[in-house]
């Protein structure tokens, strides 16, 4: 890849198109209109101005994740199904029960899944992402101190406000925290991470059964 990412890659990686003609920035959730006759300049200008220090690294991470077919070839059909449902709920701020709604199942090409299963693997995915971030930062000296008025803090609260939508006010606080964590760290997980989360869940269940049998004996 060249030293600088192209405008097309910036828009492809960092924006989510919405039904009303707007595009939502995946880094800060600002909505921008792609002005007629200006190409992608309105969208790219926001990224250059608001995310000058971080956007190139984010673009490369996202394109690497989404452009690698091996990620999807190495996981089974069920892991892909769970990945797509989690991605849908996290990226579009959907409530977990969204996957069980009759209209969702009627108009979606995805196979059905229950909210309980979705939540179980979403929580497991959070653990996988935490482990990946920990491994990436291992051995590095990092200071975790931010000014309350910094762009990073404002971006966090902006995302938190969107995640804590009216549809999710009945959720347990821990579930909301998980969704916000996955949303904010979207570049760290893909289908392979979901497959790893599923395997971890299976191993935990198997170990729990072994402990129960040993206690009975």
How many domains is the chain built from? 2
- The reply to whether 61 and 137 lie within a common domain is no
- The reply to whether 58 and 78 lie within a common domain is no
Which of 44, 67, 90 corresponds to the end of one domain? 67
- The reply to whether 133 and 57 lie within a common domain is no
CB 96 within 8 A of CB 119: yes
Where in the sequence is the domain holding 170, given as residue range(s)? Answer: 69-216
Tokens of 50: 């608001």
Q: How far apart are CA 16 and CA 27, in angstroms?
A: 10
Distant-in-sequence, close-in-space partners of 185: CB < 8 Å, separation ≥ 6: 129, 133
- The reply to whether 120 and 182 lie within a common domain is yes
Confidence (pLDDT) at 136:
79
Q: Which residue has the higher pLDDT, 83 or 17?
A: 83
- The reply to whether 76 and 158 lie within a common domain is yes
- The reply to whether 55 and 105 lie within a common domain is no
Mean pLDDT across the stretch 111-121? 95
Q: How many CB atoms lie within 10 A of CB 188?
A: 19
Confidence (pLDDT) at 153:
66
- The reply to whether 8 and 93 lie within a common domain is no
Tokens of 150: 């910094």
- The reply to whether 113 and 46 lie within a common domain is no
What average pLDDT does the structure give for the chain?
81
- The reply to whether 104 and 209 lie within a common domain is yes
Q: Which residue has the higher pLDDT, 2 or 101?
A: 101
Q: How far apart are CA 66 and CA 116, in angstroms?
A: 27
- The reply to whether 43 and 99 lie within a common domain is no
Confidence (pLDDT) at 2:
47
- The reply to whether 110 and 210 lie within a common domain is yes
Burial 197-207 (b: 16+ CB within 10 A, else e): bbebbeeeeee
Which one-letter DSSP state was computed for residue 22? E
Which of 48, 67, 86 corresponds to the end of one domain? 67
Which of 10, 37, 67 corresponds to the end of one domain? 67
Range with lowest mean pLDDT among 49-53, 81-85, 151-155: 151-155
Confidence (pLDDT) at 169:
65
Q: Which residue has the higher pLDDT, 140 or 169?
A: 140
Asked whether the predicted pLDDT for residue 119 surpasses 70, the reply is yes
Tokens of 69: 């077919």
CB 196 within 8 A of CB 188: no
Percent of the chain at pLDDT exceeding 90: 28
């Amino acid at each position: 890849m060249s030293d600088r990412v192209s405008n097309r890659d910036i828009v492809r990686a960092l924006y989510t198109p919405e039904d009303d003609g707007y595009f939502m920035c995946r880094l800060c959730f600002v909505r921008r209109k792609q002005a007629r006759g200006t190409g992608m300049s309105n969208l790219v200008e926001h990224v250059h101005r608001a995310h000058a220090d971080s956007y190139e690294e984010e673009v490369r991470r996202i394109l690497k994740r989404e452009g690698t077919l091996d990620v999807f070839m190495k996981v089974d059909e069920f892991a892909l199904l769970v990945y797509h449902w989690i991605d849908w709920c996290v990226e579009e701020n959907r409530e977990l029960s969204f996957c069980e709604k009759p209209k969702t199942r009627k108009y979606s090409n995805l196979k059905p899944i229950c909210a309980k299963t979705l939540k179980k693997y979403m929580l497991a995915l959070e653990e996988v992402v935490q482990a990946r971030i920990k491994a990436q930062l291992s051995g590095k000296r990092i200071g975790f101190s931010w000014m309350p008025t910094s762009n990073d803090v404002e971006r966090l609260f902006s995302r938190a406000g969107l995640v804590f939508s009216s549809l999710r006010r009945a959720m347990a606080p821990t579930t909301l925290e998980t969704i916000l964590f996955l949303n904010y760290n979207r570049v760290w997980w893909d289908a392979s991470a979901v497959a790893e989360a599923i395997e971890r869940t299976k191993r935990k269940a198997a170990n729990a059964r072994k402990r129960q049998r040993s206690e009975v004996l």
